[in-house]
Amino acid sequence: MRVVISIGGSVLAPDLDAGRVDGHAAAVERIVGEGCEVGAVVGGGGVARDYIGIARDLGANEVQLDHIGIDVTRINARLLIAALDGLAAPSPPHDYEGAGEALRRGDVPVMGGAMPGQTTDAVAAALAEYVDADLLVYATSVDGVFSADPDGDPTAEQYDRLTGTELVDLVAPMSRGAGASAPVDLLAAKLIERSGMRTIVLDGTDPDRIAEAVLHGDHTGTDIVPLGADGDPERWDR
Ligand code: UTP
């Protein structure tokens, strides 16, 4: 099974803690050890937001801000690469072709951002589509897709299972306006919809949860399944 794992910056590096990064690297190592091919994408988290905020005060334009965000995601990617030892490609690929080549060599590509105007949510969805992954996992700080922001709205309900189209319909209104709280961004949702990519959104703060979801399909988050899909990836049936 080939899987792309997106690890949010707020999950991997809410602060700088070697133990936390090591824990996520161990989960990736376990998944690879079970015979899966893995591509990883790492977000920028609070550090990216801090840098972007300061650069905005300094008058940087939105594309310049995005480049700063991308640089931070790549620094976080380098932390995971360091923790993965020789298992990972030595530097974050800047595009999907580079990541695909690393995967073909038997390395784990660890990407950060790819281009301005999007987030690493979309990078992960595009990488999954590009390498024809069987599964895409978003390890976020929230356990799945909710009807509203579960941090601010006590009536927010979690969805167990959605189609890609339902995900797009849910995320589109959430993505408008400042402080958007969509679990994955709209571009990512559209890529998931068009590719029919089987996707899981889960709370990945505990890296074991990521490994259990990938290896056994066990999780308490949200499954996004192509319309008409009747089963789980072959691997889970074994
Ligand atoms: P993130 O993917 O971490 O953004 O990229 P985010 O969704 O705001 O972070 P989380 O999920 O809440 O932790 C950080 C920033 O880097 C730029 C964007 O400005 C983004 O907000 N970026 C990232 C890009 O411009 N392009 C990319 O491909 C990736």
CATH number of the domain at 198, please: 3.40.1160.10
The number of distinct structural domains making up the chain is: 1
Its domain, for residue 124, covers 2-237
> pLDDT value at position 232?
66
Beta carbons of 75 and 43 less than 8 angstroms apart: no
Confidence (pTM): 0.95
Cα torsion 196, 43, 115, 87 to 10°: value is -80
201: three-class secondary structure by DSSP: strand
Probe residue for ligand 1, chosen from 119, 175, 187, 205 as the CB with the greatest number of ligand atoms within 8 Å:
119
pLDDT value at position 233?
A: 65
pLDDT of residue 12: 97
DSSP H/E element including 234: helix 234-237
**Which mutation among 5, 73, 123 tests ligand 1's pocket best, with the greatest number of atoms within 8 A of CB?**
73
| Ligand 1 atom nearest to 45, measured from its CA | 13
For ligand 1, say whether the CB of 116 is within 6 Å of any of its atoms.
yes
Nearest CA to ligand 1 atom 11: 8
Q: How far is the CA of 228 from the centre of ligand 1 (A)?
A: 32
Which pLDDT does position 230 carry in this prediction?
64
One pLDDT digit (tens) per residue for the chain, 238 residues? 999 999 999 999 999 999 999 999 999 999 999 999 999 999 999 999 999 999 999 999 999 999 999 999 999 999 999 999 999 999 999 999 999 999 999 999 999 999 999 999 999 999 999 999 999 999 999 999 999 888 888 899 999 999 999 999 999 988 765 456 788 999 999 999 999 999 999 999 999 999 999 999 999 999 999 877 766 665 665 4
- Residue in the structure block whose two tokens are 């995971």: 80
pLDDT (0 to 100) of residue 229: 72
Q: Ligand 1 atom 23: the closest Cα is on which residue?
A: 119
Q: Which phi and psi (to 5°) does residue 209 adopt?
A: -65, -35
Predicted local confidence at residue 238, as pLDDT = 43
